[in-house]
Amino acid sequence: MGAVAGPEIERLVQLLARLPGLGPRSARRAALHLIKKREALMMPLSGALQVALDKVQVCKTCGNIDTQNPCTVCTDPKRDPSIIVVVADVADLWALERANATQGRYHVLGATLSPLDGVGPQDLTIDALVARAHDAQVHEIILALNATVDGQTTAHYITDLLQDANVKVTRLAHGVPVGGELDYLDEGTLSAAMRQRTLF
């Protein structure tokens, strides 16, 4: 099949197709929608992308991304400085914030340990986390890492490094989700829920 649009439009489609969740067909639909809504959508989007390119930076304290450094979370006086919630990625931080799950501060590792993918301790911000954990005002480190092999390996590695820090190290509970039905859950989730049962 020959090209149905000029190289500029094809370039737009190719760039959109690199975004997570967008395949070639979805990228074509998105490009067409942007072109049809040039005034209402494409121009504001173009401006927002330029602002993000110019102003967004990585927080030097926690690794969040923001237009200020330190970030909005780190400079919020209502946050509890005694709690640091460790996450693998900024997306996890945003998810916890959407749920309003904690009033603590955060530490973004950048990934999880994954020997198969060549991700070692030197590729993560673990040293900075250990340094923060030794701050006198920090009392608890919450490991909010994925319940995967890599996530749990990372959690164990960090826990070992925090042995001499005067902090309590906790992790997220694993088990039956809110609204979940037992019949539809996998065996790993059920056994974790049974092990971590609590008083009713």
User: How many Å apart are CA 28 and CA 16, to the nearest integer?
Assistant: 8
Work out the number of other CB atoms within 10 angstroms of the CB of residue 138: 19
- Report yes or no on 49 lying in a domain: no
What is the tens place of the pLDDT at every residue in 62-92? 999 999 999 999 999 999 999 999 999 999 9
Cα dihedral 168, 133, 78, 69 sign: negative
Per-residue confidence band for 2, with pLDDT thresholds at 50, 70 and 90 = low
Instruction: State the pLDDT at residue 140.
Output: 96
Number of structural domains found in the chain = 1
* Spatial contact of 172 and 193, defined as CB atoms under 8 Å apart: no
* Spatial contact of 113 and 120, defined as CB atoms under 8 Å apart: yes
User: How many Å apart are CA 184 and CA 135, to the nearest integer?
Assistant: 44
- Stretch 86-107: mean pLDDT, rounded? 95
Q: What is the model's pTM? A: 0.84
Instruction: State the pLDDT at residue 173.
Output: 86
- Report yes or no on 176 lying in a domain: no
What is the tens place of the pLDDT at every residue in 126-150? 999 999 999 999 999 999 999 889 9
- Report yes or no on 123 lying in a domain: yes
Least confident of 36-45, 47-56, 113-122, 174-183: 174-183
What residues make up the domain containing 103?
65-171
> Encoding tokens for residue 135?
């701050």
Instruction: State the pLDDT at residue 4.
Output: 65
- Report yes or no on 164 lying in a domain: yes
